[in-house]
Amino acid sequence: MRKRYLITALITGVVLTDVSTLHYFSHQASASIEGYQKERKPKKKLPKKPVESKVPPPEVYRLRTLIAQAEKGKEKKKFETKVKDFYYSLQLATFKKKENAEKFLKKLPPEIRENSFIYVTDKGYYTVRYGLFDNYKLLKEIQENIPVKSIIVKTDVSKVVKEKVAVEKVPETVKKIEKKVEKKPEIIEEETKIIPEFEEEEISIFEEEKPQIPLYKKVIGAVFFVPAYMLTHKQRGFWGRVEFTYKMERYKDPYRKTSRNSFRQYYELNYEGYIYSPRLLTYTLGGNFSREDSKIKYGSNSSDSTSKLIGYNLELNFLKGSRFPINLFAKKTESPLWYTYYDRSSYTERKTDSYGLYGNLRFVGSQINYSYRHEKSKSVGLDFREDRKTDEYNFSFGKFFINKSLNITLKKNIDDYTQEYASTTRKVYQDINNYNLNYRWKISKKSNLSADARYYSNSYTDLKDFTGNINYLWNPSDRLTTNFGLSATRSEGRNYDITFLSFNESLNYVLSENWNLSHNLILFTSNGSQADQKLINTGVNLNYHKTINEKFSIFGGTGVSGQAESGNINRVGGTVSLNAGLIKRFDFLDSSFSLSGSTSQYKSSKDDRSNTFNINERYTAFLSKNLRFEHTINYYYQDSQYYRPSGGFSETNYDNLETSNSLRYKRMLGWKGSLTTALGVKYYYGKKRAERFYPFGNMALNYRFTRNLLYKLSVDVHRDTYYNTTYSTINSHIDYKYRRLNFRWDFQYYYEDNDNYGKRHNYITAFKIYRVF
């Protein structure tokens, strides 16, 4: 609750205060701190140009530059300046009492004191100022060489005259600088016109009495000044989104009609800035509001509904760009979810509050990542309700060497939720742990070692699972490649526990350019409450590949393997396999043809058997530059039976044929668009399987008429004779941008015709106008 009050107070203070006023006072504060607190050191050489960062903001001081010039003739003359409305001076200090100003003036160095004077401001303060200059740039250079901290202010000439201050002599510093700039002598004339000036007020160290600021003023100043100070240091500034959406949904079938019209307003405002420096703290403040008004009709009945949803987001990034960044966030989202069915429309409102942190620690050769997230959500619908609380913890550690790496990841998720339906309630509390370890070691150029370990547990299902893998790859030559793997798994549940352990070895040796030999070995054992089995399987395969010419190649292979099992089932078996194929390319129609087939046979001592055949054929041809024909056939046959520990056999029989023929067209519509279409039919037939035709057609069109106008259209139509159903879908989309306004129109149509429901129609139309700023 404290977090909500703090965020609400901060946002309210920023909103109630005019942004331009905040910028004005923040600029004043920045300039005051820069002018009074920054130590100025004498420089031996004058800079070629003033440092821009030291020049006060022009919108605050309303400066004028290069108003008048002093010039020198052949004969030496006194420095005289024609009286203007105002001049620039260096303000050295401000006092409430005149005697303190006089005391400060006497302590100044003689070369500065003789050109300084006491000036009374409109608010009654006594200031000590130096010189009268009509050239701001010249005065800026002088300021750099005076060993007294000061700020540049405007001075009303009439007040100087009343104080009987004569400015006739030019300081030696000014004379040196004037040699670089040509001046013209002018005559001083008195003017009594008073011009208001910006006054920088500072209590000097010579001030005996300091003003006392009431506590309530300090509190008010903090509330308004802190957001203002933050706003003056913007990184991205204000950005957001305004969106209006009108949506129409229609559903119709032979028995009923359902419709919904809705109008949604969405407003989002964010601000991104930093405090002092982007490397110290950057922040993002944001809020959003949406309102949706809906009117729903069910046949002859109708109802209205209104939803108002508010969200916010806050993110703080500390020490960004350093080796130890820390990020804090808080977020609230509210979203409506609508579902339109054949007989009703369902509305679900989901509200989510979350907060947390994430960051990392980067060291030489290692890195630590961490995160925490707390989320509380509530979903409410017409016949459904869910309350959920989730805590997520993540921690990872990575260590990197020249040829090694180690990564450890720890994840913990605590999920507590209650789901209420029309007739039942479900409560779940689960504590999920997921720990992973990964190790990689490149032993040499010819060998690599990798190891993985994983632990998973779930308190709701009482599941505990541990898995470990070690894999070693050895490649001693270009012809020989070997791989060894060891895997172990331990799994425990409420009513079972089981342990798996396996060893795998594979070897591939290139005998010649066309022949290669492969060997594999599997050792497997399992034990526990539901399985107690041991297995050994080994096999050898010989493969052949030959390229006759650039357009014709053949391949084939044969293999044999043996298997022995003991435990719940004791048996010995073997498998023999054979495969062959060819690939042929033709100049005619730039076409290609491929044919491949395989067969295998398995038998065991328990009268197990399995006979399989598989044939694949594919033909493609380009009838024109953009039109392509594709034809495929896939035939699969299997007849098998396996012995059951309880007695008898389990049998499977497949005799399936699948074929497809299609025409595909693709064309670029200049540089602005593209068109793709497809038209074809698929056919399915199988033993104990109904005959099935599947004709289909689809099209996709994208075209950009202008830089700001984009159109998209997609159409899909198909029929399934197995379900005696015809489907059709149309999606159309228009995007238009006018200056900074975006317009979008979406149209979706879905059609279905079957024996159970008849003809169904579903239309969705949406108009959207939005602006991102």
The model's pLDDT over 237-287, given as tens digits with 9 standing for 90+, comes to 888 999 999 999 888 888 888 888 999 999 999 999 888 888 889 999 999
Cβ atoms of residues 630 and 662 within 8 Å: yes
Cβ atoms of residues 655 and 634 within 8 Å: no
| pLDDT tens digits along 512-531 | 999 999 999 999 999 887 67
pLDDT band at 58; cut points 50, 70, 90: very low
Q: Supply the DSSP symbol for 551.
A: T
pLDDT computed for residue 166 by the predictor = 39
pLDDT computed for residue 228 by the predictor = 59
pLDDT computed for residue 84 by the predictor = 57
pLDDT computed for residue 200 by the predictor = 37
pLDDT band at 15; cut points 50, 70, 90: very low
SS3 call for 9 = helix
Nearest CA among 439, 425, 489, 427 for reference residue 463: 489
CATH architecture of 2-178: 2-Layer Sandwich (3.30)
| pLDDT tens digits along 724-737 | 899 999 999 999 99
State the number of CA atoms in the 13 A half-sphere of 528 facing the CB.
Answer: 16
- Rounded to the nearest 10 degrees, the angle between the axes of helix 215-232 and helix 19-37 is 100
Q: What's the one-letter identity of residue 258?
A: T
Helix (H) or strand (E) holding 174: helix 172-178
pLDDT computed for residue 229 by the predictor = 57
pLDDT computed for residue 320 by the predictor = 87
Query: Does the pLDDT at position 217 exceed 90?
Result: no
% of residues, the chain, pLDDT over 70: 78
Q: How many residues does the chain have?
A: 773
pLDDT band at 224; cut points 50, 70, 90: low
Residue with tokens 């070692």: 449
SS3 call for 564 = strand
Query: Does the pLDDT at position 404 exceed 90?
Result: yes
Domain positions in the chain: 2-178, 233-359+370-382, 387-506
Query: Does the pLDDT at position 57 exceed 60?
Result: no
Sign of the torsion angle spanned by Cα atoms 43, 46, 48, 53: positive
State the number of CA atoms in the 13 A half-sphere of 135 facing the CB.
Answer: 17
pLDDT computed for residue 479 by the predictor = 92
SS3 call for 36 = helix
Residue with tokens 């594999």: 520
pLDDT band at 301; cut points 50, 70, 90: confident
**If you average pLDDT over residues 448-456, what whole number do you get?**
96
SS3 call for 577 = strand
- Rounded to the nearest 10 degrees, the angle between the axes of helix 2-16 and helix 215-232 is 80
Radius of gyration of the chain (CA): 42
Q: How far apart, in whole angstroms, are the C-alpha atoms of residue 563 and residue 565?
A: 7
**Structure tokens given for 531:** 């399985």
**If you average pLDDT over residues 628-641, what whole number do you get?**
94
Phi then psi for residue 347, to 5 deg, are -120, 130
Q: Supply the DSSP symbol for 40.
A: P
Residues contacting residue 698 through CB under 8 Å, at least 6 positions apart: 677, 678, 714, 715, 716, 717
Q: How many helices (H) and strands (E) does the chain have?
A: 9, 32
**If you average pLDDT over residues 280-307, what whole number do you get?**
87
CA dihedral 338, 342, 344, 345 (to 10 degrees): 10
pLDDT computed for residue 284 by the predictor = 93
Model-level pTM greater than 0.85?
no
Q: Quick one: three-class SS letters along 118-170? A: EEECCCCCEEEEEEEECCHHHHHHHHCCCCCCCEEEEEEHHHHHHCCCCCCCC
DSSP secondary structure letters along 331-393: EEEEEEEEEE-SS-EEEEEEEEEEEEEEEEEEETTEEEEEEEEEEEEEEEESS-EEEEEEEEE
Query: Does the pLDDT at position 8 exceed 60?
Result: no
Helix (H) or strand (E) holding 503: strand 497-510
SS3 call for 569 = coil
Query: Does the pLDDT at position 566 exceed 70?
Result: yes
**If you average pLDDT over residues 175-200, what whole number do you get?**
37
Nearest CA among 276, 275, 285, 367 for reference residue 325: 367
How many other C-beta atoms are found inside a 10 Å radius of the C-beta of residue 691?
A: 11
Q: What's the one-letter identity of residue 10?
A: L
**Structure tokens given for 301:** 């009945």
Q: Quick one: three-class SS letters along 598-632? A: EEEEEEECCCCEEEEEEEEEEEEEECCCCEEEEEE
SS3 call for 13 = helix
pLDDT computed for residue 76 by the predictor = 35
pLDDT, greater one: 421 or 372: 372
pLDDT, greater one: 490 or 166: 490
| pLDDT tens digits along 325-363 | 999 999 998 877 665 554 455 667 888 999 999 999 999
pLDDT, greater one: 616 or 89: 616
Residues contacting residue 218 through CB under 8 Å, at least 6 positions apart: none
pLDDT computed for residue 26 by the predictor = 37
Cβ atoms of residues 76 and 170 within 8 Å: no
pLDDT band at 374; cut points 50, 70, 90: very high
Q: How far apart, in whole angstroms, are the C-alpha atoms of residue 499 and residue 493?
A: 12
Query: Does the pLDDT at position 42 exceed 70?
Result: no
pLDDT computed for residue 226 by the predictor = 60
pLDDT, greater one: 509 or 32: 509
pLDDT computed for residue 433 by the predictor = 96
Q: What's the one-letter identity of residue 512?
A: S
**CA dist 487 → 405, 451, 634, 637 (Å):** 21, 10, 36, 34
Q: How far apart, in whole angstroms, are the C-alpha atoms of residue 483 and residue 471?
A: 7
Angle at 752 between CA 747 and CA 755, to 5 degrees: 165
Query: Does the pLDDT at position 30 exceed 60?
Result: no
Least confident segment among 18-27, 211-220, 303-312, 752-761: 18-27
Burial annotation 614-637 (CB, 10 A radius, 16+ → b, else e): ebebbbbbeeeeeebbeebbebeb
